[in-house]
Amino acid sequence: MQAPTILVTGFEPFGGESINPSAEIARRLDGGMVEGRRVAGRVLSCAFGRAREELLVALADVAPVLVVALGQAGGRREVSLERVAINVDDARIADNAGAQPIDRPVVAGGPVAYWSTLPIKAIVAALRAAGLPAAVSQSAGTFVCNHLFFGLMHALERRPAARGGFVHVPWLPEQAARHPGEFALPLADQLRAIELVIATALKTPTDAALAGGALS
Ligand code: PCA
């Protein structure tokens, strides 16, 4: 059997939720094919440090050419293509292991930031053309998602053949029901969006310089 070549990660539920759309997506894509490539899906702990360690194990296992890391961003109104990972942990709430780092580097002595190496503008255009809400996001926050994103891009520095980045996804409808007035995107649309993220990344070696991809 051909080895998996695309890694999709999601996170376990956190912050009082019983599900996390990113985990549902990673589970459903695991073992499937997108654009003739096999996908490996992994669900990571929502914990500083541990999530990065689990990612490094998955990178070594899968040896992917493309990594799409996913996380939930409840309240966002679109699938968010994160532009940049920053070298800081600054948690508003405790993670699932009870840790709440404040103003700490992800990698001591590391660079201030890393850019996503996904073609984020081309992906936003492809998602919107497919009728899915999408935007470039200028910040993945300073919680476990940004931590994992920074750890991913740091690791990919030593794997120059692999590209990767981070995508935040909105609430699922059953979650939004407990957050009245907030936006939700059904799981089928979230899955379609992430398959399109993968397909567009594989087809787009260099990002398109499109104006208007960002909402902020
Ligand atoms: N979202 C959180 C961490 C895990 C997740 O799915 C975040 O945006 O940092």
Could you tell me if residue 60 is inside a domain? yes
CB atoms inside a 10 Å sphere around CB 200? 21
Asked if residue 1 belongs to a domain, the reply is no
The answer to whether residue 168 is catalytic is yes
Q: Which of 24, 78, 145, 154 is catalytic?
A: 145
Residue 183 domain flag: yes
What's 160's domain CATH number?
Answer: 3.40.630.20
Task: Of 88, 43, 99, 50, give the one whose Cα is nearest residue 70.
Answer: 43
From the CA of 22, give the closest atom in ligand 1.
Answer: 6
- pLDDT at 58 > cutoff 80: yes
CA distances 189 to 1, 78, 158, Å, are 29, 11, 34
Task: Identify whether the C-beta of residue 101 lies closer than 8 Å to the C-beta of residue 92.
Answer: no
The pLDDT score that the predictor gives to residue 214 is: 60
Residue nearest to atom 8 of ligand 1 (CA): 145
Q: Is residue 145 part of a domain?
A: yes
The answer on pLDDT for 177 being more than 70 is: yes
Picking from 171, 130, 136, the residue whose alpha carbon sits closest to that of residue 15 is 171
36 alpha carbon to ligand 1 midpoint, in Å? 29
**Pocket lining for ligand 1, CB < 6 angstroms:** 11, 14, 20, 22, 46, 71-73, 141, 143-145
10 alpha carbon – ligand 1 mean position (Å): 9
Given pLDDT bands bounded at 50, 70 and 90, which one contains residue 4?
low
Any domain includes 184: yes
Among 73, 75, 65, 83, residue whose Cα is nearest residue 159: 65
Which atom of ligand 1 approaches the CA of 72 most closely?
Answer: 6
Residue 72 lies in a domain: yes
Give the range of the structural domain holding residue 162, as residue numbers without chain letter.
6-215
Q: Number of folded domains in the chain?
A: 1
Residue 134 lies in a domain: yes
CA nearest to 29, candidates 206, 201, 153, 199? 199
The answer to whether position 90 is within a domain reads yes
Entry pTM: 0.96
Q: What is the pLDDT of residues 5-36, one digit of tens each?
A: 999 999 999 999 999 999 999 999 999 999 99
